[in-house]
Amino acid sequence: SDLEAPEMLYLTLDKNAGDDIPRILFFAEPGTIEINTTLKNFVFDAKISGSSVQKKLEEFKGITSQFNDQNLELIKAKFDAQKSGDSALISKVNEDSDNLLRRKYLYAINFAMNNKDSEIAPYIALSEIYNANIKYLDTIYNALPKEIASSKYGKKLETYINKRKEEEN
């Protein structure tokens, strides 16, 4: 069937890999999407073109990978602090971790708000910050133009928000 609106899809390489089937995750949209890669590094070498939403996703992932790198450094620092029994350092690393998580969430919220005219906004709300305070998810959803709010991910975000509100009451 033809794709009517942007949607997250997987391209898999079935090389009898069992459970470890390599998958390229990409945002497809109507029109031609081109994916170039190698067999050796199927996922890591993938270059995707022809999708404006994919371009926005790559921009978002570029920044969030920096947050993930910083988080790994903090996990190592916490491990080292616990090993040495330095409670002041453990507290400092915990505080730094909380601040990093807050920055990551604020970045995702701002990115979604700045890209509210794209299906990337509700997708990020659902995939990256689904456990954020409901008021932030509501703010993102309410900022979406009608055509994005009525898209696949816009509808999923609305359903998710309503479900969370029911659970919290």
169 residues of the chain, pLDDT tens digit each: 588 889 999 998 876 656 677 889 999 999 899 999 998 888 899 999 999 999 999 999 999 999 999 999 999 999 999 999 999 999 999 999 999 999 999 999 999 999 999 999 999 999 999 999 999 999 999 999 999 999 999 999 999 999 999 998 8
What kind and span of H or E run contains 83?
helix 52-84
**Residues 56 and 28 both lie in one domain:** no
The distance of Cα 43 from the centroid of its chain, to the nearest Å, equals 17
Tell me the pTM. Answer: 0.87
Tell me: do 60 and 15 sit in the same domain.
Answer: no
- Distance separating alpha carbons of residues 129 and 106, to the nearest angstrom: 9
Alpha carbon distances (Å) from 86 to 72, 75, 78, 90, 94: 19, 15, 10, 6, 12
Pair 119, 129 in one domain: yes
Domain extent at residue 16:
1-50
Q: Structure tokens of 97?
A: 């971790």
Q: Total structural domains in the chain?
A: 2
